[in-house]
Amino acid sequence: MNFFKNFLSRDKTNQVIRLNQKVVQLTELGQYEQAIPMANRACELARKYLGKEAPDYGKSLGNLGELYFILGNHNEAEQLFQQAIEILSLALGKQDPYVALYRNNLAALYR
């Protein structure tokens, strides 16, 4: 049973990672509206299968926040960046590069 549970967890983690990679690709291509449903799906999968404290959930929130920031939805972006920073700081430490990235994004939002 443990093997099966670990297998499912790895499969879901890989799904989240692939979705986030696709979100980044679409974002880099300027296809923001196409990226949003994928980013939302990555957040849903990560929260449901990996948990609210999982680093991949934090990264998913940060990616979604970046899309909202680009599209001018600053209130939503701010909340998502703050959540991502909190989750990733606890899971990976305050010195983690993703924590720095989302702190920088949050600072840019306040300018």
Per-residue pLDDT tens for 8-41? 567 888 999 999 999 999 999 999 999 999 999 9
Compute and round to an integer the Cα radius of gyration of the chain: 14
Phi-psi region of 17 (alpha: psi -120 to 50; beta: other; left: phi over 0): alpha
Q: pLDDT tens digits for 65-84? A: 999 999 999 999 999 999 99
pLDDT above 70 (res 5): no
pLDDT, averaged across the chain: 92
pTM above 0.85, yes or no: yes
pLDDT of residue 2: 53
Q: Please, what's the largest Cα pairwise distance for the chain?
A: 51
- C-alpha to C-alpha distances, 26 to 2, 20, 21, 67, nearest whole angstrom: 36, 10, 9, 10
